[in-house]
Structure 1
Amino acid sequence: MEKNKGKGEAPGQNKEFKILVNAREKIWAEKKINFDQVVILAFGSVSQDPNVSYTVTYKKGDNGKPEGIMVKGDEIVVKDGMRFNVTQTNRS
């Protein structure tokens, strides 16, 4: 008998992922994460100041793209143990 039969969910759909954001462990419960969500995990919010920009890099990602850079609007698949580095820059 299949465990999730009748629930409309494939196995592993409710998994929690342990990720690191700026060297701090976070728990993420969705299969994907977008640029703004990573910034919020790092800084608590996304600044609306047009002079503030963010750089998001990641490592230990999905086998299709194990490392890279995210830009505003990007969404990627989350993998347990992923590492994100988020920096904030103020333009003057």
Structure 2
Amino acid sequence: MSQDDHGKKPVTIIVNTRSYEWAEKEISYEQAYDLAYPNQPLGDGDTATIEYSRGPDGHGGGSLTAGHGVHVKDGMVFDVYRTSRS
């Protein structure tokens, strides 16, 4: 059993009202986007806004930006909004 197997069990996170089991300590902007919009990569002129609530350690809410992540906890909620320039 590796050190990573000790004591870390999956938590349930909510992404755009859908529940997911998440086994990693953190989730990145890109991972949250992929859960919300599987197989729909952002194209030129597309953007995504990711907001979270019920976060860990007194950081109840915030935003994720590309290239960044946040520690997850059970019951954490992510709202992912995709917009396109017309």
**TM-score of the superposed pair, with normalisation by structure 2:** 0.88
1:10 Cα deviation (Å)? Answer: 7.4
Name structure 1 gaps, 5 residues minimum.
Answer: 1-5
Over 4 Å off, 4+ runs? none
Paired residues for 1:27-38 under 5 Å: 27-38=21-32
Output one character per residue of 1:25-68: Cα deviation in whole Å (capped at 9) or x when no partner: 11111011000000000000452412110000000011142200
Structure-2 change in CA distance of 1:46 and 1:35 (3 Å): farther
Q: State the TM-score, normalized to the length of structure 1.
A: 0.83
- Which of 16, 21, 44 aligns to 2:15? It is 21
Q: What residue number does 1:78 align with? A: 72
Count of aligned pairs between the two proteins: 86
Q: Could you say what the CA RMSD is over the residues aligned between the two structures, in angstroms?
A: 1.8
Matched, 1:54 2:35: no
Secondary structure of the 1:61 match is coil
- 1:8 deviates by 3.0
Unaligned segments of structure 2, at least 5 residues = none
Percent identical pairs in the alignment equals 35
How far apart, in 2, do the equivalents of 1:87 and 1:53 lie? 8
